[in-house]
């Protein structure tokens, strides 16, 4: 068994959520830390965009927009449970690189979904699309993402540094059809799945099932805790320098000069 830290946070705003995830990644990269599973939600609907994504197409709709440090495409965060895993690179159960981490994490999520009667499975390939929908994470699945009846239910993205990686993702419980179609166009909801369409399980109950499945899959002994003082201070720095700024969230990331630059792997 390996000791893990479990952080269960209240629903928060997008800027705070992303700053917390980045602070965990940076702290794990700088010094030896136990792996961390963080589970949280979003206080009100918001959009996150991928690290190099141009946010111009989602800015006009009036929702808060925050840029992730992970890749991928735009996500509307609303009725969901978000997971975040930060862990050392090159160690079990994540010793097999990017795809190995995606696979190990998705297996646990799939098993948790099956526990509530949702017949989930891996995506084995990648689809690309045309038109406005292609800017949406849930337009098409990538390899090892979680599908139900061929439709994407979990969208995940990753960032790897020299000594640690972050993977976070949205497990969808419900969909506001009007909101999704207003931003991403008609037909986007038909490509998505969500837990509420298959099960009446409450988010908190599923969260507990998910923790159990992560514990089994990772041979993890979870100890519930919070960000430590260094991580809280770093989170506050990141909010001020990045996540509360238009320069980071709304502009082309290539023009952003990061005062707290990450050291890539």
In a domain, 265, yes or no: no
pLDDT for res 128: 42
The answer on pLDDT for 3 being more than 70 is: yes
In a domain, 241, yes or no: yes
Percent share of the chain, pLDDT over 90 = 71
Give me 110's structure tokens: 């799939």
Percent share of the chain, pLDDT over 70 = 88
Active site residues: 137
pLDDT for res 218: 96
In a domain, 44, yes or no: yes
Q: How many domains does the chain have?
A: 1
Give me 59's structure tokens: 């800015």
56-96 pLDDT, tens per residue?
Answer: 889 989 999 999 999 999 999 999 999 999 999 877 888 77
- Asked if the bond preceding 2 is cis, omega within 30° of 0, the reply is no
CA torsion angle 174 79 124 116 (round to 10) = -70
33-52 pLDDT, tens per residue?
Answer: 799 999 999 999 999 999 98
Spatial CA neighbour of 48 closest among 22, 80, 18, 82: 18
In a domain, 261, yes or no: no
In a domain, 263, yes or no: no
Which residue range is the domain that position 241 belongs to? Answer: 2-255
In a domain, 260, yes or no: no
Q: What is the CATH number of the domain that holds 216?
A: 3.30.930.10
In a domain, 7, yes or no: yes
pLDDT interval class at 131 (50, 70, 90): very low
pLDDT for res 139: 62
In a domain, 45, yes or no: yes
Entry pTM? 0.90
């Amino acid at each position: 068994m390996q000791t893990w830290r479990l952080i269960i946070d209240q629903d928060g705003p997008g800027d705070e959520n992303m700053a917390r995830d980045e602070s965990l990644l940076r702290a794990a990269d700088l010094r030896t830390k136990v792996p961390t599973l963080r589970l949280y939600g979003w206080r009100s609907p918001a959009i996150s965009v991928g690290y190099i994504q141009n946010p111009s197409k989602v800015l006009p709709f009036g929702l808060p927009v925050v840029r992730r440090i992970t890749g991928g495409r735009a996500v509307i965060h609303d009725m969901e449970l978000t997971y975040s895993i930060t862990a050392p690179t090159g160690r079990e159960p994540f010793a097999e690189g990017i795809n190995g981490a995606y696979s190990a994490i998705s297996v646990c999520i799939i098993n948790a979904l099956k526990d509530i009667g949702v017949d989930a499975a891996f995506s084995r390939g990648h689809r690309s699309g045309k038109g406005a929908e292609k800017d949406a994470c849930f337009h098409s699945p990538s390899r090892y993402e979680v599908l139900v009846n061929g439709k994407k239910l979990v969208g995940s993205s990753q960032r790897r540094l020299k000594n640690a990686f972050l993977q976070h993702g949205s497990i969808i419980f419900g969909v506001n059809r009007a909101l999704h179609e207003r931003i991403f166009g008609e037909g986007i909801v038909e490509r998505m799945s969500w837990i509420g369409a298959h099960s009446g399980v409450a988010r908190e109950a599923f969260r507990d099932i998910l923790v159990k499945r992560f514990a089994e899959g990772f041979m993890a002994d979870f100890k519930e805790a919070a960000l430590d003082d260094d991580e809280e201070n770093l989170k506050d720095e990141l909010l001020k320098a990045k996540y509360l700024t238009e320069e980071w969230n709304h502009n082309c990331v290539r023009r952003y000069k990061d005062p707290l630059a990450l050291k890539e792997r």
